[in-house]
Structure 1
Amino acid sequence: MNVANYLVKVLQEEQFENVFGIPGEQIMPLYEALSKSNINHILTRHEQAAAHAADGYYRASGKIGVCIATASPGALNFTMALATAYKDNIPMLVLTGDNELKYRGSDHFQSLPQVEIFRHITQDSYNPLNGSEAIFCLRAAIFALKNNPKGPIHINLSKDVLLSEEFDDIELCYLCEDDMSNISRAQELIDRSSKPLLILGAGAISQADNIKGIASKYQIPVATTFHGKGILSEEDDLNLGLVGIRSTPRSKYAFENADCIVALGIKASERTFLEIPDNLIHVNINKDVLVGEYPIHGKVEDFLANIRFAKVDWLDEILKIDNTVEVEGLNDDLKPQAAINQILKRFEDEVIVSDAGSHTTWTTLLMKSKSPGQYLFSGGLAPMGYGLPAAIGASVATGEKIISINGDGGIQMNIQELATLKNYDLNVIVFILNNYEFGIIRQWEESFYGMDPYQVKLENPDFLKLSAAYGIDAVRVENLDDLTMLLEKDLSGPLVVEVVVESEDIPLPK
């Protein structure tokens, strides 16, 4: 057995079921091993899409996504998607091929310093020099991704290392670093508190049921970051809504009046805190993002197991505030927000995947997430082209109907993945909001620079004919009545729906 076959054996033992990628010369030994395994390989049409799909796979299911590419021409196509996952702390296993070890650091065909390039956009980037190191790195990466999930982990695999039959499987000493030294100080602050507030981020998703029980039992109000939406259903009175630059009225009031803020699994970016409050207890497994006077480096699960809450009585005070976020134009024919509102009402129980663009703002304002992982989008980097491949990953992960909302600009960044959608007959409905422009960029030009629209108008293809070329059914709607009639039907994917909409400015944060 060579190293490639043993690595695949480890993946099977660790119950990895699906991987995304494209084969190539230097990674071929791993593909030869995969071909004999029970692991399902999803062949994408671009490596960026493979990594976005692995990202969406995790966000929708909590299962670690895997993406695979060959040496530099393939591997470097991962960079956008890895940076996206890195900014949002999405754990992924990233495997790339490379030329033989003797060519490292040379100008050999297709050789570049992949490990150094990826080091800036991954949690770790490993460069094993023999079979034993390769297996050790894989086991260490899997353990870290499952127990300390801070972002993608990359392993660069030279062809000769993969083909080697000389290796040992070294037993790991599994350690998880943490620092709970501030737990007693945090407890004292909680004990003094009569107006606590929980702020939930993506790092709290795994504890959704536990947090729901605590919030309900002690009547502690909850606010969320963008990626914490749905940890507690947004239909629950305890959930005040988003905090930060898109705060709801209730969330804003609670944040400003709380005497103790317990932030669980959040990144504490500028989109959440313009200033770090003095009464912030910040819990995160990533010590590099911790802020405030009460940093707790560890798992949300461990923090909750070692802290005590008491019942409080200030929810009624908060609920007196009207939490309505006014969105104009919901009945206008045909504003993008009107279209999105109809789509969200029709698919209120489905997973929604949003690309980057003005539609993401409208979707965030209008959607009420009922569960974690129901609304997927890239918050930290927000590249166009994320939506379609991430929806593919979510579909593979869940087997459920997935709704992908895209702009006409963003969809064309990875539109080749319609082939993947068709190839695997995935139940994904792709909505394309077509206003023939890069809408947010046009708004910035006009609002902040006093410019006439410049280099933002798009001459788009016929999306129906393009979809048909990929063998996918497609329909175009040009008014709200037709969209409503379409949405009354029993729709399933693969399906493309082009919605022709007007140019519209998004409401800017206040």
Structure 2
Amino acid sequence: MNVSEKMVEILAEEGVENIFGIPGEQIMPFYKALSSSKINHVLTRHEQAAAHAADGHYRSSGKFGVCISTASPGALNFTMAVATAFKDNVPILVLTGDNELKYRGTDYFQTTPQVEIFKNITVESYNPLNGTEAMYVLRASIFALKNNPKGPIHINLSKDVLMSTDFEDFDLCYLCEDDLSNISKAQELIDRSEKPLLILGAGARSQAQNIKSIVEKYNIPVTTTFHGKGIISENEDINLGMVGTRGTPQAGYAFENSDCIIALGIKGSERTLPQIPDNLIHVNINRDVLVGDYPIHGKVEDFLLNIQFSEVDWLGEILEIDNDVVVDGIHDDLKPQAAINEIMNRFPDNIIVSDAGSHTTWTTLLKRSTKPGQLLFSGGLAPMGYGLPAAIGASIASGEKIIVINGDGDFQMNLQELATLKENNLDVIVFILNNSEFGIIRQWQESFYDMKPYQIRLQNPDFVKLASSYGIDAVRVDTLDDLKLLCEKNLTGPLVVEVVVESEDVPLPK
């Protein structure tokens, strides 16, 4: 048995069911081992798409995704998507092939400093120099991804290491480092509090049921980040909605008037916390993102086990505030927000994947999540081209119908993945909102730079014919009534729906 065969065996034993990638020369030993395993390999058409698919795999299922590429041309194509996962703390395992060790640091064909490049966009970037090191870093990476999921981990694998038969395996068993020393101070603040407030981020997802029991028992109001939507159903009064840049009126009032803000598993970006309050208890497994006077470095689960709450009575005060977020134009024929509102109404319980652009604003405002992982989008980096490949990963992980909302610009960044969609016959419906422009860029040009629109007009292909050329059913609608009639049907994927919409401005953050 060589290193490649043992690595594939370990991944299978650890429950990995899907790997996204493209084969190539330097990673071929791994692919040979993979070809005789039970792990499903999903052949994407671009490495960026493979990593986005691994990202969507995790966000929809909670199971870390795996992507694989060959050396430099393939590995460097990963960087956009790996950086996306890094900015949003999404745990994926990134495996890259490389030339033999003797060529490191040379100008040999397809050799670049891959480890150094990935160090900037991963939690760890490993470079095992022999088979035993490869076993160790794989075991350590899987443990971290499952138990301490801060973001992507990269392992760079030279071809000679992959083919080596000289190695020892490891049985790793160790605890994640944490620091719960501020628990007692946090408890004192909670005990004094009459108006506590929870802010839930993606890191609290695994504790959804526990948190639901706590807030219902003690009547503690909840707000969420973008990526915490659905941990508590947004149809429940106790969930005030998102806080921060795109926050609801109730969430904003609660944030301003709370005497104890308990942030569980949030990154604490400027979009969520425009200012850091003195009464913030911040719990996160990632020490680097902790802010405020009560930082707790550890798991949300461990924090909740060590904290006592008391019943409070200020939810009624908050609920007196009108929480309706007014979205103008949702009945106009055919504004982008009108189309998105119709899609949300037709698919209220499906996983929605949004790409980058003005449509993301309308989607996050209009989507009401009833469980975690129902709205997937790239928050921190927001690259164009995320939607379709992430939906492929989400579909394969969940087995559910997935709805993608794309603009005409971002769809074309990774449209080649229509081939992957068709090949795997996935139940994914792709809505392309076509206004023939980079709308959000036009709006910035006009609103902040006093410019006339420049280099934002798009000469688009016929998206229906394009999808049809991949063997995918496609249809075009250009009125709200036609979209409603279409959505009333029992739609199944693969399906592409081009929705011709008007140019429209979104409410920009101030």
TM range (shorter): over 0.9
Match of 1:413, SS state, is coil
State the alpha-carbon separation in 1 of the partners of residues 321 and 350 from structure 2. Answer: 30
State the alpha-carbon separation in 2 of the partners of residues 29 and 212 from structure 1. Answer: 47
Per-residue deviation at 1:311? 0.2
Match of 1:432, SS state, is strand
After superposition, the C-alpha distances for 1:82-136 in whole angstroms (9 at most, x for unaligned) are 0000000000001000000000111000000000000000000000000000010
Match of 2:433, SS state, is strand
State the alpha-carbon separation in 1 of the partners of residues 504 and 139 from structure 2. Answer: 50
Question: 1:324 is matched with which residue?
Answer: 324
Per-residue deviation at 1:172? 2.7
Letter in 2 for 1:438: F
Per-residue deviation at 1:171? 3.3
State the alpha-carbon separation in 1 of the partners of residues 357 and 332 from structure 2. Answer: 20
Per-residue deviation at 1:65? 0.2
Letter in 1 for 2:407: G
After superposition, the C-alpha distances for 1:200-258 in whole angstroms (9 at most, x for unaligned) are 00000000110011010000000000000010000000000010111111000000000
How does 1:313-352 map onto structure 2 within 5 Å? Answer: 313-352=313-352
Per-residue deviation at 1:15? 1.1
Question: 1:502 is matched with which residue?
Answer: 502
Question: 1:441 is matched with which residue?
Answer: 441
State the alpha-carbon separation in 1 of the partners of residues 155 and 292 from structure 2. Answer: 34
State the alpha-carbon separation in 2 of the partners of residues 306 and 133 from structure 1. Answer: 37
Question: 2:282 is matched with which residue?
Answer: 282
Letter in 2 for 1:53: A
State the alpha-carbon separation in 2 of the partners of residues 151 and 92 from structure 1. Answer: 7
State the alpha-carbon separation in 1 of the partners of residues 394 and 288 from structure 2. Answer: 29
State the alpha-carbon separation in 1 of the partners of residues 112 and 252 from structure 2. Answer: 49
How does 1:56-67 map onto structure 2 within 5 Å? Answer: 56-67=56-67
State the alpha-carbon separation in 1 of the partners of residues 230 and 240 from structure 2. Answer: 11
How does 1:424-463 map onto structure 2 within 5 Å? Answer: 424-463=424-463
Per-residue deviation at 1:14? 0.4
Question: 2:102 is matched with which residue?
Answer: 102
How does 1:76-115 map onto structure 2 within 5 Å? Answer: 76-115=76-115
Question: 2:483 is matched with which residue?
Answer: 483
Match of 2:363, SS state, is helix
State the alpha-carbon separation in 2 of the partners of residues 17 and 333 from structure 1. Answer: 44
State the alpha-carbon separation in 2 of the partners of residues 260 and 460 from structure 1. Answer: 51
Question: 1:401 is matched with which residue?
Answer: 401
State the alpha-carbon separation in 2 of the partners of residues 410 and 175 from structure 1. Answer: 41
How does 1:168-247 map onto structure 2 within 5 Å? Answer: 168-247=168-247
State the alpha-carbon separation in 1 of the partners of residues 214 and 378 from structure 2. Answer: 29
How does 1:20-31 map onto structure 2 within 5 Å? Answer: 20-31=20-31
State the alpha-carbon separation in 2 of the partners of residues 11 and 367 from structure 1. Answer: 35
State the alpha-carbon separation in 2 of the partners of residues 16 and 342 from structure 1. Answer: 37
Per-residue deviation at 1:185? 0.2
Of 440-449 and 171-180, the range deviating more from structure 2 = 171-180
After superposition, the C-alpha distances for 1:264-290 in whole angstroms (9 at most, x for unaligned) are 000011101111000000000000000
State the alpha-carbon separation in 1 of the partners of residues 225 and 172 from structure 2. Answer: 36
Question: 2:148 is matched with which residue?
Answer: 148
Aligned length: 510
State the alpha-carbon separation in 2 of the partners of residues 5 and 505 from structure 1. Answer: 53
State the alpha-carbon separation in 2 of the partners of residues 108 and 117 from structure 1. Answer: 17
After superposition, the C-alpha distances for 1:347-384 in whole angstroms (9 at most, x for unaligned) are 00100000000000000111111110000000000000
Per-residue deviation at 1:323? 0.2
Match of 2:342, SS state, is helix
Question: 2:353 is matched with which residue?
Answer: 353
Where does the alignment leave 5 or more consecutive residues of structure 1 unmatched?
Answer: none
Letter in 2 for 1:432: I
Letter in 2 for 1:505: D
Letter in 2 for 1:57: H
Per-residue deviation at 1:174? 1.6
Letter in 1 for 2:110: Q
State the alpha-carbon separation in 1 of the partners of residues 271 and 218 from structure 2. Answer: 28
Say whether the 8 Å CA contact 2:139–2:170 is kept in structure 1.
Answer: no
Per-residue deviation at 1:329? 0.5
State the alpha-carbon separation in 2 of the partners of residues 360 and 5 from structure 1. Answer: 42
State the alpha-carbon separation in 1 of the partners of residues 275 and 344 from structure 2. Answer: 33
After superposition, the C-alpha distances for 1:364-417 in whole angstroms (9 at most, x for unaligned) are 111111110000000000000000000000000011100000000000000000
Match of 1:371, SS state, is coil
Per-residue deviation at 1:173? 4.5
Question: 1:5 is matched with which residue?
Answer: 5
State the alpha-carbon separation in 2 of the partners of residues 172 and 70 from structure 1. Answer: 28
State the alpha-carbon separation in 2 of the partners of residues 330 and 292 from structure 1. Answer: 39
Match of 2:116, SS state, is helix
How does 1:299-318 map onto structure 2 within 5 Å? Answer: 299-318=299-318
State the alpha-carbon separation in 2 of the partners of residues 480 and 238 from structure 1. Answer: 34
Letter in 1 for 2:317: E
State the alpha-carbon separation in 1 of the partners of residues 392 and 442 from structure 2. Answer: 29
Letter in 2 for 1:280: L
State the alpha-carbon separation in 2 of the partners of residues 92 and 247 from structure 1. Answer: 29
State the alpha-carbon separation in 1 of the partners of residues 4 and 135 from structure 2. Answer: 9
Determine whether 1:378 maps to 2:378.
Answer: yes
Question: 2:267 is matched with which residue?
Answer: 267
Letter in 1 for 2:355: D
Per-residue deviation at 1:463? 0.3
User: RMSD of the TM alignment (CA)?
Assistant: 0.6
Letter in 1 for 2:9: K
TM-score by length of 1: 1.00
Question: 2:34 is matched with which residue?
Answer: 34
State the alpha-carbon separation in 1 of the partners of residues 207 and 171 from structure 2. Answer: 30
Match of 1:179, SS state, is coil
Question: 1:294 is matched with which residue?
Answer: 294
Per-residue deviation at 1:344? 0.4
Match of 2:329, SS state, is coil
Letter in 1 for 2:73: P
Match of 1:281, SS state, is strand
Letter in 1 for 2:99: N
Question: 1:129 is matched with which residue?
Answer: 129
State the alpha-carbon separation in 1 of the partners of residues 249 and 448 from structure 2. Answer: 26
Where does the alignment leave 5 or more consecutive residues of structure 2 unmatched?
Answer: none
Letter in 2 for 1:207: Q
Say whether the 8 Å CA contact 2:70–2:98 is kept in structure 1.
Answer: yes
Letter in 2 for 1:369: S
State the alpha-carbon separation in 2 of the partners of residues 197 and 213 from structure 1. Answer: 15
Match of 2:78, SS state, is helix
